[in-house]
Amino acid sequence: MPRSAYEAMTSSAESHGDDIDMHVMTYDQRCHGRSTFGGGEDHLSIEVLMRDFLDVLQYAKTELYPTSNFYVLGHSLGGAIVTRALSGNKSGLDRVSGVLLVDVVEGTAQLSLQHMKSFLKNRPNTFPEVKDAVVWFLRMGGMQNPDGAEVSVPPLLQQNPNTGLWEWRTDMHKMESVWDGWFTGLDEAFISLPCAKMLCTANAERLDKALTVAQMQGKFQFEVIGNGCGHYVMDDATLTIVAKVRRFVKRNEVLGQKVQLINRHLSGQMNNTTVPSNRM
């Protein structure tokens, strides 16, 4: 989740504190943002990224919020990480009430990887100033919202102490040896998760066959953001994403509470039932 969406989500949670009690946390993956784990991009396989996510999730469950339910959200590769890490993982799914994916579909993602080398070749390697990178993202990099770009682009860069130029913090060229496995099996893993699920995409055309069939069968909630958004939907339509996430969480929390009340009521009825003597 980019900083623009994280800050909006946190602000929304605070301003609607009487509506639903929500704590929002995020983390920088290896070689990203302020992560102290620098280098090693050529080893960022899906297995490594999944282990990191599960370690963070377990820490949050045991040390930060030991009694809370969890909803995990991932955009693009982040969505593949959380989905595949939780698929078939009983301990990982403990207290996870919902999984939300943002603009990631296996078929579309696999196709985009075929054009990744061309994209990286045409992308500038350095920028004189951070603002130049922001401008590039708005003109060529797929972002539409200047406010979101000004928040989310700077953490992608670091200044070279020798040249003074701003370079990409993550060397994506080194990831070519591992990126083929990032999205494999994503659709099946997502559909099979035994919890509430929501998929948000920039447009309806991004849905592939497997997810289209599953969506028609009611296996997950599907939301289209639209309004000309690109892949960075959390930056382009931050408030829309925040609203959809809040509604998803609130609906499932309320439903969960109702189910608990019904179960308690039924349990109480069973405990109070008198068994006839001729059946004892």
Closest CA to 81 of 161, 183, 207: 183
- Binned at pLDDT 50, 70 and 90, residue 147 comes out as very high
The rounded mean pLDDT for the chain is 87
Kindly state the percentage of the chain with pLDDT values over 90. Answer: 68
The catalytic residue among 52, 231, 235, 236 is 231
Which tens digits make up the pLDDT trace of 175-185? 999 999 999 99
Which residue did the predictor score with more confidence, 257 or 195?
Answer: 195
Task: Tell me the domain boundaries of the chain.
Answer: 3-253
Catalytic residue status for 231: yes
Beta bridge partners of 127: 166
The pLDDT of residue 141 is: 79
How confident is the model over 229-255, as a mean pLDDT?
Answer: 91
**C-alpha to C-alpha distances, 59 to 49, 72, 77, nearest whole angstrom:** 16, 14, 21
Q: Provide the token pair at 120.
A: 């990286």
Residue 94, Cβ neighbours under 10 Å: how many?
11
Q: Which of 52, 103, 187, 235 is catalytic?
A: 103
**Phi and psi of 244, rounded to 5°?**
-70, -40
User: What are the angstrom distances between the C-alpha of 88 and each of 83, 180, 272?
Assistant: 10, 22, 38
From the list 262, 183, 255, 257, the residue with the least C-alpha distance to 221 is 255
Chain segment 9-46, per-residue pLDDT in tens:
555 544 544 467 788 999 988 888 888 876 788 899 99
Inform me whether the pLDDT recorded for 4 exceeds 60: no
- Which residues are within 8 A (CB) of 61 and not within 5 positions of it... i.e. 6 or more apart? 70, 94, 95
Segment 188-192 mean pLDDT: 97
pLDDT at 46: 96
Which residue bears the tokens 């989310």? 152
User: 246: which residues sit within 8 A by CB, 6+ positions away?
Assistant: 12, 13, 16, 19, 20, 22
Query: Rounded to 5 degrees, what are φ and ψ at 26?
Result: -145, 170
Q: Where is pLDDT greater, at 267 or 224? A: 224
Catalytic residue chosen out of the listed positions 76, 152, 187, 235: 76
Give the C-alpha separation, 185 to 101, whole Å.
14
Check: CB of residue 34 under 8 Å from CB of residue 156.
no
The Cα–Cα gap between 125 and 276 comes to 82
Q: Which of 17-21, 37-41, 54-58, 205-209 has the lowest mean pLDDT?
A: 17-21
Q: Can you say how many angstroms the Cα of residue 221 is from the centroid of all Cα atoms in its chain?
A: 15
The architecture in CATH of the region 3-253 reads 3-Layer(aba) Sandwich (3.40)
Residue 84 is predicted with a pLDDT of 98
Name the strand (E) or helix (H) holding 199. strand 196-201
User: Once rounded to an integer, what is the mean pLDDT over residues 77-98?
Assistant: 97
pTM: 0.85
- Work out the angle between the directed axes of helices 3-15 and 238-272 (0-180°, nearest 10): 50
